[in-house]
Amino acid sequence: MELILDIALLSLLLVTAVYIAWTRDLFAAVILAGIYGLLSASFFMSMGAVDVAFTEAAVGAGISPLLMLSTLAICGRAQRANPQRALLALLTVGVVGALLITATLEMPAFGSPDAPAHLHVAPRYIADSMREIGIPNVVTSVLASYRAFDTLGEVVVIFTAGLGVLSLLGLRGDVREEPIHSPMAEPSHLVLRVVGKVLIPPILLFALYVQFHGEYGPGGGFQAGVIFAVGFILYSLVFGLEAVEKIVNRALVQALAAVGVLIYGTVGLLGIVSGRNYLDYSGLAGDSVAGQHLGIIAIELGVGITVASVMMIVFFVFSAQLARGRAVPHAS
């Protein structure tokens, strides 16, 4: 049964990928990319990688198509084709694909207990993480403690991406912006407004659950941050950007993006202050397990704050750009 499921999912993935590359309609490509994300998430799920599946569902199927759609709203949905480029790309893809396939021929069978990945570092994570860190989700233990520095790096990557968008689109002088009207903000879209209003509180609540339940089940700051941001983005889609700006201050969101990284970095420094190494949480509380648990909660909070703020920054900057683009023909 699982085999059939895998084959079905993988063939769907293949078809979607080929169609994304094939189609000239960027709108279709973006929607398909969302579907691709959802299919990958299901595939990861069937492989038992619940945390990865969750992230992929939130990011690949959730927010990234949304951001790509807002880009399309600015740039249009038609692709300018360049056949020569396509040939070069096809050649590169062909070579890379061949290399990938040859490499996977010697890949250990999926789930094989003899695979090197299961014999070297993983056994300690599985056997000892409960004793050393005291939380049931091994994935969270690895991400937030054993390899916490990588995760700090990932948060900084997201922060950098948000700043990059801000530096390109967000700070073009002090142009007086036209008020932004979402087409859906009109009273005729009553159903959307009602459904939106009903959905937003559970979305935010769910985000908080994912945030604080990350030690026990799949989830954590990354997924929670994305889901939390989606709540606000939905609100702005339905009620317009100015409605959101009444409740969230843009400067505050930008500051929060930095604050999240700072929380993570400072918790690490507390390790040094407590006489241990950077990002060693053991000294944060009475005994080392409690310290680890406390440290993980704190850094996950930092992750969640930065991810949510950056997602909101990116979306708001895109929408503001869109509104400015629309404002230009009015002016002329």
Farthest CA pair distance, the chain: 69
Asked if 79 touches another protein (CB under 8 A), the answer is no
Q: Which of residues 28-67 bind another protein (CB under 8 A)?
A: none
Contact 140, 214 (CB under 8 A): yes
Shortest Å, Cβ 266 to another protein:
7
Exactly one of 40, 140, 223, 254 binds another protein (CB under 8 A); that residue is: 254
Asked if 327 touches another protein (CB under 8 A), the answer is no
- 166: Cβ contacts below 8 Å, ≥ 6 apart: 254, 313, 317
Contact 136, 144 (CB under 8 A): no
Q: Which of residues 137-156 bind another protein (CB under 8 A)?
A: 145-150, 152-154, 156
Please, which residue, 235 or 264, has the CB nearer to another protein?
264
Binding mask 266-295 for another protein (x = CB under 8 A): x-xx-xx---xxxxxxx-------------
Angle between helices 221-239 and 288-331 (to 10 degrees): 30
Please, which residue, 14 or 88, has the CB nearer to another protein?
88
DSSP state of 78: B
Q: Which of residues 85-114 bind another protein (CB under 8 A)?
A: 96, 99-100, 102-108
Shortest Å, Cβ 107 to another protein:
6
Q: Which of residues 11-30 bind another protein (CB under 8 A)?
A: none
Question: Can you tell me the distance from the alpha carbon of 224 to that of 55, in angstroms, rounded to the nearest whole number?
Answer: 9
Return the range that interacts with another protein (CB under 8 A); candidates 15-23, 120-128, 184-192, 322-330: 120-128
Please, which residue, 206 or 278, has the CB nearer to another protein?
278
- 65: Cβ contacts below 8 Å, ≥ 6 apart: 30, 31, 33, 34, 37
Please, which residue, 16 or 282, has the CB nearer to another protein?
282
Give CB contacts under 8 A, 24+ apart, made by 123-126: none
Please, which residue, 120 or 330, has the CB nearer to another protein?
120
Please, which residue, 163 or 294, has the CB nearer to another protein?
163
- Vertex 297: Cα angle to 291 and 302 (nearest 5): 125
Shortest Å, Cβ 219 to another protein:
21
Q: How many CB atoms lie within 10 A of CB 43?
A: 20
**With CB under 8 A, what is the number of residues at the site for another protein?**
63
Please, which residue, 150 or 186, has the CB nearer to another protein?
150
Q: Residue 30: is it exposed, middle or buried by C-beta count within 10 angstroms (0-12/13-18/19+)?
A: buried
Please, which residue, 151 or 182, has the CB nearer to another protein?
151
Q: What is the CA radius of gyration of the chain?
A: 23
Exactly one of 21, 87, 88, 119 binds another protein (CB under 8 A); that residue is: 119
Alpha-carbon separation of residue 269 from 149, 261, 265, 278, 299 (angstroms): 12, 12, 6, 6, 12
Query: Contact residues for another protein (CB under 8 A)?
Result: 96, 99-100, 102-108, 115-122, 124-125, 145-150, 152-154, 156-157, 159-161, 163-164, 166-168, 171-174, 254-255, 257-259, 261-262, 265-266, 268-269, 271-272, 276-282
